Structure 1
């Protein structure tokens, strides 16, 4: 890190004690009882009278001088947030937040404004018992860097796909180890590119590995069946926050979150009905399931709700003159999965939808930041067939249709956006994504494309965070992809467990002086797999 990062040097020292109390929140797991027994019996009895914070604290949706602080308690209580620009909390401000009630599964968030630009904000969250106003929870602490101010280096991480294919929290292996690895890179924020949960994936207590050993999962009732009710979906989000690594990371690194399919059900689209071949579901209307999933996702993340459009997932975040981030929603407005060969861009061919496509065009056009990062929850050229048993063969789930020719179907939206970027000479656009459960780096060049009316650009794929490893996928050549790196062998056996270390994330670093963005890909232990320096177009 360069010396321009010095205002943030106290974050790690401050957060050493964040997880000391957080570990005790895992009461009932292998970690919880041991920690709980370290106190005197009288203290334990007294502590149980306090509201508890079983899911830690999180921050997110940071832009300019604003940030959302999130937490969850275990009973009706009022959220109280104290914050300052120093770890001693001198001249701290206190915000009495909303009531956390059963109607939100006892989650709550506070949207802080007027934060000190270019500085670190330190915060503490407590909950005040509404039955006895003299009783407060123990505080949990976190910190977050506020963008802007004196130009400094920016570091961010990106990945997706968490707790999929039955690979859950294995405490003996170290839990979600990748979060601790990412934390060591000291990112200013983390882009979670979707599949935060696998609502359609059951987690069993044990999974037999190829070598005969057993993978031991932490199990909960919510993860013992597919999610159908609101409480089922809430339980899926709560499950991932049982992991100590994730809670430690979330207390230190702000989240920018989008969704993909497994937040609801594999490869879902609006208006879909689950077919008879899928036997696990009683509730077969995907719109009903999606409504439950979106509500739980909003409750369990530090989302800033847009008052004029409270259902909206796509949004943008300004990190000052070096960077803006544009988060897409490729679920809410898509047409049905199909052979993806439509010749005109209509509702059947929609992926972003007309309104969101207009929004991203205008947002990119208005941007004055050097770098524009588009966070897409699905890659552009990797072919993703829809293999659900209740859809016809030859149906596609992502942008690409696998024919390598001129843009058709959802590719028409990509072509329109890329052409707009070229026509208006919008510079330094980079795409990051996940979904396919392996990492890759691809350079798109019009010289190699069937559709040529665009400026060259890079796309980087991260993931899985903690799920089965698959791929690599076939590549559609419509937009001239030159695949520079793939993180797995072409003959790999599918659904590899986390214990094989084939879990991946990306890191972007923007140098404040040169404005060069360096993007690297890493495995679960942080090993450098690929790196490229992107020089900005001036």
Structure 2
């Protein structure tokens, strides 16, 4: 059963107008003009995100008791003024911008300050104040101006951080890199009840469904010191996958066929609101009930354009029926987002067209024989939609499409073909699949899936199932990826090393191995 879009706001129990007003500081709650905090309200740290040439989004959330079950973070139901400051130095001797946001109870006392008027391609420091409390200091960086040609851009991408299954050591190593941007490609939290064996059980202990539940779960992840450090070091651009709501959901359809459709829509609305409350996102992305525009584009001068996709909110339901799998009306992104992506790639002014998205897009056959064993939750279950995209890239002569992907808990590199069954067919791009931060446990250089993939898919050039992240350096001539892995996530303080490196050359489709 599919819920009519006009019913969403009613079923979700949260109207978009109310949340939009709340993020602007308008609330029915009384204002606490001069708060006196007995304990630190900045327990969840600070973050910045979605940098533009003249500014960035600054984030924090007031939560002196972040894990209390009611999801209120230990805050009273008052509006709290929060001052933000941006400076050119970490000691704030030269403050260049400042302002006040009103943290409202309707949005969990989260703060989203959209700063403008900064210089392009510059490093800045920021902090928050409320009453007698001062936040930790964060570092951020604006994007280059739209018409500039920067020498290089350095970014990393990550995904799949499951709190009970391992320590977030990879985030700590990520924070030590020299980066302009971090992309998070989904599964920032996990919705399940996993306890784990490391003394890091999920809170709440059960699977989460309500707004209070999702707030506590996000807050628990945000209390991790390594995650806080990575957020405080660089601006992030985030998108979601499934576990921010429910495993393998599709649009308004729950994985659990027995779940009442209206209940799932309410659950999705709660999950989307909590996600917004805990991420450095703009007011234009505030959810309207169970709808939230998460796909968007970031421009780094004429060097790179980042297209962040949403592969969950508007996708067709998964299927294993052979007839349905070939139905051209099925979509991974929805018709509107498909058009937006192709049009954006077609008119890109960037040398590198980065498509940041959730699930494996290369053909991923696990049958080494003449048959095929393909998953149905990633693009392999949406082959007509994938073919439309690749055909459009070929037809419109779009160069240098680089797809960065999460979800699969392994590293993989593949050349993207107009016909995967013909190795000689045109290469339209390269996919770099990044492994997980912790999901799946310690991992190993090779596993059964990796052996099957490499044996069955000649377009795949690399596989590794250890945990970590991918570091990328893009110049006007080349794009280099370094796969950074740690040997174990079940022991703290594991080291990081580069296990493989690859280069894509401007105007030359395909990927080349480089010495690590």
Return the alpha-carbon distance in structure 2 between the equivalents of residues 116 and 340 of structure 1.
54
Displacement of 1:163 after TM fit? 1.3
Runs of 5+ unmatched residues, structure 2: 1-34, 64-74, 367-372, 487-494, 509-516
- Residue among 236, 239, 248 paired with 2:217: 236
User: d(CA) in 1 for partners of 2:295 and 2:257?
Assistant: 33
Equivalent pair of 1:191/1:257 in contact (CA under 8 Å): yes
Return closer, same or farther for 1:340/1:432 CA change in 2, 3 Å cut-off. Answer: farther
Q: How many residues align?
A: 432
* TM-score in terms of structure 2 length: 0.77
Moved more, 91-100 or 49-58: 91-100
Q: 1:452 to 1:399 in 2, by over 3 A?
A: farther
**TM-score, normalised with respect to structure 1:** 0.74
**What is the 5 A alignment of 1:415-434?**
415-434=387-406
Report the CA distance between 1:136 and its aligned residue. Answer: 2.9
Residue aligning to 2:243? 262
| Distance in structure 1 (CA, Å) of the matches to 2:380 and 2:455 | 9
Q: Does 1:536 align with 2:500?
A: no
Q: Equivalent of 2:135, from 136, 139, 143?
A: 139
Contact 2:391–2:418 (CA under 8 A) maintained in structure 1: no
- 1:413 is displaced (CA, Å) by 1.5
3-state SS in 1 of match to 2:436 = coil
CA distance in 1, matches of 2:317, 2:402: 28
Decide whether aligned partners of structure 1 residues 233 and 309 sit closer, same or farther in structure 2, where only a CA change above 3 A counts. closer
Assess if the C-alpha contact under 8 Å between 1:68 and 1:303 holds in 2. Answer: yes
The aligned residue for residue 181 of structure 2 is 189
Structure 1 unpaired stretches of 5+? 1-45, 128-134, 169-174, 208-214, 386-392, 402-409, 489-501
Task: Give the 3-state SS of the residue equivalent to 2:165 in structure 1.
Answer: coil
Tell me the distance in 2 between the aligned counterparts of 1:49 and 1:246.
25
For 2:431, which of 448, 452, 459 is the aligned residue?
459
Q: Which digits, 9 at most, give the CA deviation of each residue in 1:202-256, with x for residues without a partner?
A: 232x52xxxxxxx322x4642x110110111111111111111111111111111
Secondary structure at the counterpart of residue 306 of structure 1 = helix
Contact 2:127–2:134 under 8 Å retained in 1:
no
Aligned partner of 1:101 in structure 2 is 104
Give the superposed CA RMSD.
3.0
Change (3 A) 1:381 1:475: farther
CA distance in 1 between counterparts of 2:321 and 2:123 reads 47
Tell me by how many angstroms 1:148 deviates: 1.1
Is 2:296 aligned against 1:315? yes
Q: 1:466 to 1:382 in 2, by over 3 A?
A: farther
Aligned to 1:16: none
Match of 1:95, SS state, is strand
Aligned to 2:273: 295
1:345-384 Cα shifts (integer Å, max 9, x gaps): 21xx111010000000111112101111101100113659
Q: Tell me if the contact between 1:381 and 1:475 (Cα under 8 Å) persists in the aligned partners.
A: no
Q: Does 1:437 align with 2:409?
A: yes
Q: Give the deviation of 1:93 after TM superposition.
A: 3.6
> Structure 2 vs 1, CA of residues 197 and 283 (structure 1 numbering), >3 Å: closer, same or farther?
farther
